[in-house]
Amino acid sequence: MLDDTLRSNRLPLAPGVGYKPQHFAQILEHAQPVAWLEIHAENYMGDGGRPLAQLRHLSEKFPISVHGVGLSIGSEGPLDADHLARLKHLVGWLKPASFSEHLAWSTHDSHFLNDLLPLPYTNASLARICEHIDQVQETVGRQMLLENPSSYLAFEESTWSEPDFLREVARRTGCGLLLDVNNVFVSATNLEFSPQGYIDAYPIEKVGEIHLGGHDEDEDDHGRPLLIDSHGREVVDPVWALLDYVLERSGPKPVLVEWDTDVPEWPVLRAEADRAQAALDRVPA
Amino acid sequence: MSVSQESFHAALMNPSAAIPKGLLDAVAQPAGRRFSVYRNNVAVSLTEAMHQAFPVITKLLGAQNMDGLSGIFLRKHPPSSPLMMFYGEEFPEFLAGMEQLSHIGYLPDVAQLELALRRSYHAADSEPAPADALAVPPEDIMRARLGFAPSMRVLRSDWPIYSIWRFNTEDNAPKPDLAAQDVLITRAEYDPVPHLLPEGGAHWIAGLQAGQTIGGAFEDTANHFPEFDLGATLALLLQGGAITSVTIERLAT
């Protein structure tokens, strides 16, 4: 369990965006760009070249959040020691304002699947995830935030609700939480529970960062709505409403807009960040 | 009913496999099509990664054929690490083994070129040797040993891979003629650039990489390639910032 004194600086209580290289020039030229940027850790694990040069440059001007998408914290097997060492190296030189990963698995038998795969919530998976998070925080040397997934199905074997599971992980490991509001909405639609009920049960005091993103709409075999977390369009109105519901309970938080596929021109992304700012402005500090 | 990651993984990678029992929808019925979301995400994201990694191969084969090939490739060679920037290392060999593609013999070497460009893009930064490092008497030049940038790559091919690459990436590039071509990749700043190497150039650079002097490697190269143009090859390396050190051993007097 990590001591709170290991927390380094924090993200601003303001909107940030997921950094895309095609926006590099606009971000630097914009008179009032966003307050902070988030990067996917794995894209900055090469030996050199433009990606690292851009990141070094941006990190002199913006607080950076390092968001891992490949550690596979939920793996049944051990964590990939090489990958953990790469994360330690990145976080070591960049000294980001935040470091986060997912409640999911993505590697099996050294095969990386490039997707965030779901976990059952059982005592066994809880113990394993806590062990992995302890290992991550000890190796990387700082607190991490753990993000709730988008779910398309449920496990019959689960004995914990997701909010309770996350609360217990945070309690045992001292990690913080990254609340992805779109993921809550996607899972709530797909698994037919109340998103507000989820937020009410969720340990909101552990939230260090909030994510927003767009999703796609589909149907399952029975014609019921099936939402897919695609990060390829604007955040929908019900998710903005759910953000308001969260912020009323949490107070102001760093809010990130993610847009990873069909990446739009900078002004479109910037407009989403402005909408997040408007939501933050409605919250008493 | 518990679902192991082993069985989840097996069903993900095999679209005709049964969906593991114990995965449910919102009303506790078998998950059915919901499992396909994960299957799709994996296949689509890896296929997309292959398109991005091999744009010229994609253009040569057509996007649909590339989708089909990627589907086979990603099951045979799933990524071995979360660093997607390096995905596709086995693709040239995979292409070479596809009998249906044996009539397009240059595909594996073109894929090698695309891999090498990507490797160069992510290679460690380096400083070129000072401009005057080779401004020395000719006999000293011949005794010099060179260090090279980590971003430099050399490829040899029996096919006109340089011309094929240009024809598919540049407007108005000339149509490739049948010829063996060797390629040098340099990265002066952040963008790797392929250059056509003069005959023997790849042989000479390999000699230098093995620790030979400029003169020693030249003699060896000239034996195999009497037309070898040392000056033109050296100029490509210098212009591309690929030479990072020049070491000249003084003769004992």
H-type alpha helices, B54-128: 55-61, 63-76, 91-96, 107-122
Q: How many CB pairs under 8 A join A and B?
A: 147
Of B4, B32, B80, the CB nearest to A112: B80
Whether B194 and B249 map to the same domain: the answer is: yes
Domain range for A273 is 4-281
Q: Are B130 and B50 within one domain?
A: no
Residues contacting residue A144 through CB under 8 Å, at least 6 positions apart = A99, A100, A101, A133, A136, A137, A175, A176
Interface touch B24/A154, C-beta < 8 Å: yes
Helical (H) or strand (E) element with A210: strand A207-213
Which of A101, A113, A151, A263 is best to mutate for the B interface (most B CBs within 10 A)? A113
Indicate whether B186 and B129 sit together in one domain.
yes
Is there a single domain that holds both residue B99 and residue B187? no
Q: Which of A114, A118, A222 sits opposite B49 (nearest CB)?
A: A114
Contact A44, A55 (CB under 8 A): yes
As a whole number of angstroms, the distance between CA A164 and CA A100 comes to 19
B73: closest CA of chain A, how far (Å): 13
Structure tokens at B84: 């997607």
Same domain, yes or no, for B137 and B239? yes
A238 in contact with B, Cβ within 8 Å: no
ipTM reported for the complex surpasses 0.90 = yes
pLDDT bracket for residue B252 (50, 70, 90): low
A120 has a chain B CB within 8 A of its CB: yes
Please give the Cα distance from B22 to B10 (Å, whole number): 15
- Nearest chain B alpha carbon to A70: B82
Q: Please name the residues in contact with A248: beta carbons below 8 A apart, sequence gap of 6 or more.
A: A283
Q: Which residues of B touch A154 (CB under 8 A)?
A: 23-26, 28, 31
Which of A76, A93, A108 is the best residue to mutate to test the B interface, defined by the most B CB atoms within 10 Å of its own CB?
Answer: A108
Q: Is B122 in Cβ contact with A48 (below 8 Å)? A: yes
A195 and B CB contact within 8 Å:
no
Nearest partner of B90 among B53, B139, B141, judged by Cα: B53
The 8-class DSSP code of residue B194 comes to E
B82 vs A contacts (CB less than 8 Å): 42, 69-72, 80, 83, 106-107, 112, 114
| Judgement on whether residues B79 and B180 belong to the same structural domain of the protein | no
Q: Least CB-CB distance to A47: which of B34, B37, B150?
A: B150
In this complex, do B2 and A106 lie within 8 Å of one another by their Cβ atoms?
Answer: no
Cα gap A281→A87, rounded to integer Å: 34
- Please name the residues in contact with B100: beta carbons below 8 A apart, sequence gap of 6 or more: none
Q: Is the pLDDT of residue A8 over 80?
A: no
Q: Of A87, A159, A171, which is closest to residue A130 (Cα–Cα)?
A: A171
List Cα–Cα distances, A65 to A53, A145, A182, A266, in angstroms: 17, 11, 19, 19
Domain count, chain A: 1
Q: Which residues have CB under 8 Å from B74's CB, separation 6+?
A: B42, B43, B46, B47, B50
Residue pair B149/B128 in contact (Cβ under 8 Å)? The answer is yes
| pLDDT class of A6 with cuts at 50, 70, 90 | very low
Q: Which residue has the tokens 């900055």?
A: A44
Range A217-243 average pLDDT: 95
Residue-averaged pLDDT of chain B: 95
Whether residue B12 is contained in a domain is answered as yes
- When pLDDT is cut at 50, 70 and 90, the band that residue A3 belongs to is very low
Chain B residue with CA closest to A74: the answer is B5
Torsion angle defined by CA atoms of residues A226, A230, A233 and A235, in that order, rounded to the nearest 10 degrees: 70
Task: Produce one character per residue of B230-245: b if its CB has 16 or more CB atoms within 10 Å, e if not.
Answer: beebbebbbebbbbbb
Q: Are residues B138 and B253 in the same domain?
A: yes
Kindly tell me the sign of the dihedral angle through the C-alpha atoms of A172, A175, A181, A184. Answer: negative
Global pTM value:
0.94
In DSSP notation, A238-273 reads HHHHHHHHHHHHH-S--EEEE--SS---HHHHHHHH
| H-only helix segments in B123-191 | 138-143, 161-169
pLDDT of amino acid B33: 87
Q: A109 — contact with chain B (CB < 8 Å)?
A: yes
Within-domain flag for B68: yes
A106 touches chain B (CB under 8 A): yes
- Give CA A104 to chain center in angstroms: 11
pLDDT in tens, A116-175: 999 999 999 999 999 999 999 999 999 999 999 999 999 999 999 999 999 999 999 999
**Partner residue opposite A49 with nearest CB, options B24, B78, B121:** B121
Report how far residue A234's alpha carbon sits from residue B169's, in angstroms, rounded to the nearest whole number.
33
Q: Is B113 contained in some domain? A: no
Q: Where are the beta strands (DSSP E) in chain B?
A: 23-24, 144-148, 153-157, 181-186, 193-196, 243-248
CB contact under 8 A, B85 and A115: no
Going by pLDDT thresholds of 50, 70 and 90, the confidence category of residue B251 is low
Residue B240 predicted with pLDDT over 90? yes
B37: nearest Cα among A178, A125, A186: A186
CATH at residue A126: 3.20.20.150
Residues B166 and B253 in one domain: yes
Whole-number Å distance between alpha carbons of A76 and A107: 9
Mean pLDDT, to the nearest integer, of A174-200? Answer: 98
pLDDT 10s digits, B71-112: 999 999 999 999 999 999 999 999 999 999 999 999 999 999
Under a CB-based contact definition with an 8 Å cutoff, are residues B251 and B154 in contact? no
B131 confidence band (pLDDT: 50, 70, 90): confident
Look at residue B166 and tell me if it is in a domain.
Answer: yes
Beta bridge partners of B146: B246
Are residue B97 and residue B131 in the same domain, yes or no?
no
A5 band by pLDDT with thresholds 50, 70 and 90: very low
Residue type, A25: A
Same domain, B15 and B80: yes
Q: Which two tokens stand for residue A8?
A: 């380094």
Answer yes or no: is B109 within a domain.
no
Contact B122 A191 (CB under 8 A): no
Q: Which domain holds residue B157?
A: 125-253
Cβ-based contacts of B84 with chain A (< 8 Å): 42, 114
Which residues lie across from A64 on neighbouring strands?
A: A37
- Whether B158 and B207 map to the same domain: the answer is yes
**Looking at the structure, do residues B144 and B235 belong to the same domain, yes or no?**
yes
Contacts of A104 (CB under 8 A, 6+ apart): A72, A73, A74, A116, A117, A118, A119, A149
Is residue B117 a part of any domain in this protein?
Answer: no
Best residue in B25, B39, B80 to probe A by mutation, most A CBs within 10 Å?
Answer: B25
Q: What is the number of domains present in chain B?
A: 2
